[in-house]
Amino acid sequence: MTEKSIIPISFADQRLKTFIKEIINTNYTNEKFIFQSTSEKDIKTITSNILVTDDSYFFENSKFVNNFQKVLLINTSNRNLKIDNLDQDVTVLDIPIKFADISKIVQVGLEQIHSKSLRKLRFKKFTYDPQLRTLYANKLSIRFTEKESQIFACLIENHNTYLSKKNLLNMVWSYNESIDTHTLETHIYSLRKKIEKKLSLSNLVIFEEKKGYFLNIDIL
């Protein structure tokens, strides 16, 4: 069974927070994703593609909001929101708003992000095909398992920074409490060995104890 995506919701407006929390804790279900009420503390480290928030939280915590590819911004103040010059896709929703509409926009957003993630990535020497889970160049080729491919994709998307074990676990296993760091380490060990053996690439996936994992994209 495919694991559901986690969609964090974080509001500054207490009434909106209570209302949405009651909905997601009672009768709301979706096959593709689940909403998760997220505290201000947790939003600093959470890893996801989409965030649902309100205007007050958005502007007060912009440096954390920038971690998301798409933001659903609920306008609780009925003012003209200036959201120009942003790196990510922001959809402004005026209240009153139906929760079903939020859900639909999230579903479309996830489909768009997924479609974008399936495009081939071309590096200096190698090409990565996410659909085939294959990294190749000339006569060299390697095919990843599904989990190896997810890990590799996360490292590519965050190639300009280190990913902690916790963040990588969250990204690949979606907060599954039964998964521990040993599982992650085993997959990355297998991934490294496979890359070194079949592609003759050493030090592609780098690990530093206090920082986490890093993809040395320059050698690709």
Higher-confidence residue: 168 or 62?
168
The angle subtended at Cα 25 by Cα 30 and Cα 164, nearest 5°, is: 75
CATH code, domain with 168:
1.10.10.10
Name all contacts of 196-199 with Cβ < 8 Å and 24+ positions apart: 198/140, 198/141, 198/142, 199/126, 199/135, 199/137, 199/140, 199/142
The pLDDT score that the predictor gives to residue 193 is 92
CATH of the domain at 102: 3.40.50
Query: 152 and 75 share a domain?
Result: no
pLDDT of residue 171: 80
Domain containing residue 148: 121-219
Average pLDDT for the chain: 81
Check residue 177 and give its pLDDT: 56
One domain for residues 130 and 67: no
pLDDT for 19 beyond 70: yes
Cis peptide before 130 (omega within 30 of 0): no
Cα–Cα distance for residue pair 36/33, rounded to 1 Å: 10
More confident position, 108 or 171 = 108
Q: What is the mean pLDDT of residues 129-157?
A: 86
pTM of the model: 0.54
Is the same domain home to 113 and 126? Answer: no
Q: Are 212 and 171 in contact (CB under 8 A)?
A: no
What is the pLDDT at residue 175? 54
Which residues share a beta bridge with 207?
Answer: 213
Q: What is the pLDDT of residues 181-195, one digit of tens each?
A: 888 889 999 999 999
Query: Pick from 68, 100, 117: which residue ends a domain?
Result: 117
pLDDT at 50 over 80: yes
Same domain, 161 and 201: yes
Question: Domain count of the chain?
Answer: 2
Note whether 112 and 180 are same-domain residues.
no
The reply to whether 72 and 85 lie within a common domain is: yes
Measured at the CA of 168, the angle between CA 188 and CA 56, to 5 degrees, comes to: 170
Task: Assess whether 22 and 102 both reside in one domain.
Answer: yes
Radius of gyration of the chain (CA): 19
**Domain co-membership, 56 together with 139:** no
Domain identity same for 99 and 192: no
Judgement on whether residues 46 and 64 belong to the same structural domain of the protein? yes
Range of lowest pLDDT (7-16, 52-61, 99-108, 115-124): 115-124
- Pairwise pLDDT comparison (11 vs 119), residue with the higher score: 11
